[in-house]
Amino acid sequence: MGLLSDPNRRRALISMLTRLNTPICVLCYFAGVCWFMGLAFEPFTLRTYMSENAMGSTMVEERFPSGERALATGREFAAHKKKAGGMPVDWLVKTMQARGLEVFTQSFSRTLPFPDENKERYIVKGTNVYGILRAPRAPRTEALVISAPCSPGDQNNQAVGLLLGLAHYFRSQIFWAKDIIFLVNEHDLIGMQAWLESYHHTNTTGMDWSPLQGRGGSIQAALSLELSSDVITSLDIVLEGLNGQLPNLDLANLFYAFCQKIGVICTIQGRLQRNDWDSVLGYSHAVQTMMLMVMKQASGRPWGDHGLFLRYHIEAASIKGINSFRQYKTDLTTVGRLLEGMFRKLNNLLERLHQSYFFYLMPSLSNFVSIGYYMPAFGLLVVILLLRALDLWVLIANPPAITADGVADLEQQSSTGVLSVLTPLVISHLTGAALYILPTHFQEIAVEHFPVSETEAVVLTAIAVYTAGLALPHNTHRLLTGEGTEQGWRVLKLVAVLYLAVLLGCTALINFSLGFILALTLVPVAAFVTPHVPKALSAVVLVILSPACTLLFSVFFFQELQEMPVSFQEGWLLYLSVISQGILDHYLYGSLVYPLVALMIYPCWLLFWNILFWK
């Protein structure tokens, strides 16, 4: 406190920070990257452990015997699905009623803002079927959900068969203290969104659905099944939900504990855990697993039906069955026993899962990185912005009074006009608003005048607006105030740097992975850009580090992490598909990544682009 209260010492500290500003910023950037990369090294991580006392022991005896019967039910479901050309609603209702459940249906419809060419759909109509097993030993105020999407073709038939087999087996047990809801949803995420909105009496996406005729208690937890083979070699747990939300870590710990107990091979991100963490290959494997989780979380999209539960504060995960080349095989009886054990432990909960972490990264299922470990890496990047802001503040408060020819520059000492800063700020955000609004509203005009489909029109319009934005704010500071001043770009950069720092900080609190990836590319831009750097080279660097190119590089990087590299042409087509899917996810499920980039990140980047060409 004495250092800051003493004017002489404070002046000396500020002088040192401004004099060593560039070396400190470079050091902080590399320190932040190295810190983050070191998080996957096992000695720097924490071992997973069960925090919830009610789920602390796995000493329950699982007796589910009906794996073969579940397979037969799955084949029967597949035959009726093929005959009906979609969800066999009548057959599911009769089958669930035969198993002693209270069965209800829900119809829904949704017109997409533009056709989804990945799944070839535009007007979506479907029906959800769900059955409720009422708790025999409780007042029915709480519930658990197990769901299986009705996927097209031969996908996920075994999951529906196992769900019905578990319903029949659970019906014969008397120890359930919570309602158990068995849900088969049509049209994957759209059907799940309709069911959840109706269950909670909300409508945030404008979907049409019929009210639910039957309800259980307040949903405490949910599991979604994705099984498309009679035998599996491993079970993969999917945690990433809408807008980067994650379930409570105890849910993943519970899955891992029962896999260890029953002897099922379990993976995360589709990757097995290695024991040679002290080798280069072991560390590389952990880094790739963690980076896959970062990339999926940063996308903001739900990576399974479970992802939509998280917005309602319901802890949920998806369990996928993988049938690969491994010799070890697991049948549906074993998978059913694992699910029985997990539901029996969730049945013991006296309150919602809350004692473990909600913010974490997982290099493996046995290790995790808590928010207290990974946030310093982000903080080291953001502190660069604060140091640059301090340097600019000092220059603005004490401008050089003597020019190169020794004559006092009175114009530099005069106050900067508000319009010289406000004009590029407003125009940049208007460009961002155009990027957010125009793609979906101008698709019909684009289709009429150009030989493109609706989806292509949306994506190409977004790219056109994004590219046009590079020219619209160019030198806008002179639109109303004449020639720009040296103090003018400094004030504008000070505003832009502080704006970016607040923006990245808020983003990282909601979705750390997205905030960190944006910080990796935008912080160097904010740090080095001035009107005095070489224009051509700096413009190329700014474009490479722009949000659009960051997304393009992320697409190729994600494919490399999945060990499915693509050519540039394939990657470009995948890039266009990612753009259209991101816009669809926003309108269908409420993903925030597209409006965040269009309305805030892109305008903020345009401010630095405007500073580069300041005259």
pLDDT one-digit tens code per residue, 521-576: 999 999 888 888 888 898 899 999 999 999 999 999 999 998 888 899 999 999 99
Q: What integer pLDDT is reported at residue 519 of this predicted model?
A: 95
Q: What integer pLDDT is reported at residue 412 of this predicted model?
A: 46
Q: What integer pLDDT is reported at residue 9 of this predicted model?
A: 64
Q: What integer pLDDT is reported at residue 160 of this predicted model?
A: 94
DSSP conformational letter for 81: H
Q: What integer pLDDT is reported at residue 484 of this predicted model?
A: 58
Residue 459's Cβ-count burial label (10 Å; 0-12, 13-18, 19+) is: buried
Over residues 94-119, the pLDDT tens digits come to 999 999 899 999 999 998 888 777 66
Question: Nearest-CA neighbor of 104 among 221, 191, 183?
Answer: 183
Over residues 311-324, the pLDDT tens digits come to 999 999 999 998 88
Every domain range in the chain assigned CATH 3.40.630.10: 53-365
Strand partners, 181: 132, 145
Reduced DSSP (H G I as helix, E B as strand, rest coil) percent helix, strand, coil of the chain, to 5: 55, 15, 30
The C-alpha atoms of residue 74 and residue 150 are separated, in whole angstroms, by 11
208-209/266-268 β-pairing: unpaired
Q: What integer pLDDT is reported at residue 175 of this predicted model?
A: 85
Q: What integer pLDDT is reported at residue 414 of this predicted model?
A: 45
Give SS3 for 107. strand
CATH match of 53-365 with 3.90.1640.30: no
The C-alpha atoms of residue 327 and residue 344 are separated, in whole angstroms, by 30
Q: What integer pLDDT is reported at residue 407 of this predicted model?
A: 46
How far, in whole angstroms, is CA 173 from its chain's centroid? 38
Q: What integer pLDDT is reported at residue 55 of this predicted model?
A: 74
pTM: 0.90
Whether 222 and 144 have beta carbons less than 8 Å apart is answered as yes
Q: What integer pLDDT is reported at residue 298 of this predicted model?
A: 94
* Residue stretches of the chain with pLDDT short of 70: 1-11, 13-14, 17, 56-59, 118-120, 399-417, 472-484
Whether 501 and 426 have beta carbons less than 8 Å apart is answered as no
Torsion angle of the four alpha carbons 94, 99, 102, 106, in this order, in degrees rounded to the nearest 10: -40
Q: What integer pLDDT is reported at residue 307 of this predicted model?
A: 93
Please enumerate, as own/partner, the contacts of 67-70 that have beta carbons within 8 Å and a separation of 24 or more.
Answer: 67/162, 67/165, 67/331, 67/332, 67/333, 67/334, 67/335, 67/336, 68/332, 68/333, 69/165, 69/168, 70/158, 70/161, 70/162, 70/164, 70/165, 70/166, 70/332, 70/336
